[in-house]
Amino acid sequence: MSAEPSWGLSTCSPMPIARMRSVYRLGDVEKRLDKLPAREHETLRATYERMLEKGGERFQVKPSGLPAMEHLYDELPNFHPVLDDVRRQLALCHDGPDALELTPMLLLGPPGIGKTHFARALAQLLGTGLGFISMSSLTAGWVLCGASSQWKGARPGKVFETLVDGAYANPVMVVDEIDKARAEHAYDPLGSLYSLLEHDTAGTFTDEFAEVAIDASQLIWVATANDERAIPEPILNRMNVFEIEAPDAEAARAIALRLYRQIRGAHDWGRRFDEQPAEGVLEQLAGMAPREMRRAWMTGFGNARLAGRDTIEPADLPGGNPRRTPIGFMQ
């Protein structure tokens, strides 16, 4: 789509380096718009007009030096092999003119252990945006690559929307629960991902709705899954695969304590509560998945205040599997 940008290097600034990169050609958009029949395809017309209004250039960012990652090693103790790999790849580009390149990665592990949180933390570390594609309810491939404008209710795919509506040419793109994608009849919902994961072919990715070539070659792919057996081999071959274990008891306790301090410090009402939670409370939280911990803390804070206390007790927590209260009319 465009020549690789040149990077202005600064080894002392902690801010990411940003250059502009063209992700689509305005001339291509104008040609498609001119060919639309009058008073037809209004959604497609609005899409082209939005593309022209926003322009085709987006920020392409990379760290100005090898970024500090110690906080991520602390926050994500069960992701150390993944962080090691990210750090190695960042070391290749931080002191030269090369663009940031990260090999697509697949994070395997049970729900709630921090896979999506890692992707958000990675985007923040790199100073770029974040796109999210959930494959768990996918019944058609339009979620990735859009649906033809000839179909009623058609719309662009998530890749197109993230690049066109976002500010970055190289956002982190999360494909959540990729193992849940199910092919229908002869259609493979992951079909477009084969070319998107290849740098050369991703540079001219065409969304089926807009039918305008998009440069998706700079996307940073992070896929999550519970079971790799349901993922096609060609997808696995294009990714670095990491098996993420649940944090051990000590690491889980540290995560729970950090979440307590974050929640307490983020709210004015948090000042009412003890700076350090009780050991029994931490022990109970350590038995939960990281995803459940924040919800459990919020429940605990609320129950403690209802009881007129500034200290959370074990009884204030919902436990790993809170009971659901039935709602309805009593006969």
Chain segment 56-71, per-residue pLDDT in tens: 999 999 888 888 999 9
Which residues, at least 6 apart from 300, have a Cβ–Cβ distance to it below 8 Å? 281, 312, 316, 317, 318
Query: Residue 80 CB: number of other CB atoms within 10 A?
Result: 11
How much is the pLDDT for 18?
86
Per-residue pLDDT at 125 exceeds 90: yes
CA distance 218 to 58: 11
**pLDDT category, 94, cuts 50, 70, 90?**
confident
Lowest mean pLDDT among 140-154, 178-192, 217-231, 271-285: 178-192
**Please, are residues 249 and 77 in contact by the beta-carbon 8 Å criterion?**
no
Contact residues for 293 (Cβ-Cβ < 8 A; gap 6+): 255, 256, 259, 285
Residue from 210, 194, 307, 292 nearest 252 by CA: 292
What does the mean pLDDT of the chain come to? 86
pLDDT band at 319 (very low <50, low <70, confident <90, very high): low
Separation between Cα atoms, residue 26 and residue 94, nearest integer Å: 31
Please give the DSSP secondary-structure letter assigned to residue 296: H
Residue 187 pLDDT level (bands cut at 50, 70, 90): low
* The pLDDT value given to residue 6: 35
Beta strands in the chain (DSSP E): 17-22, 57-62, 105-108, 130-134, 172-176, 205-206, 213-214, 220-225, 240-243
In this prediction, residue 180 carries a pLDDT of 85
The Cα-based distances of 96 to 3, 65, 89, 271, 299 in angstroms read 17, 10, 13, 46, 49
Tell me the CATH number for domain 17-243: 3.40.50.300
The single-letter DSSP state of residue 65 is S
Cα–Cα distance for residue pair 10/63, rounded to 1 Å = 9
Whole-model pTM: value is: 0.83
The pLDDT assigned to 148 comes to 83
Write down the domain spans for the chain.
Answer: 17-243, 249-316
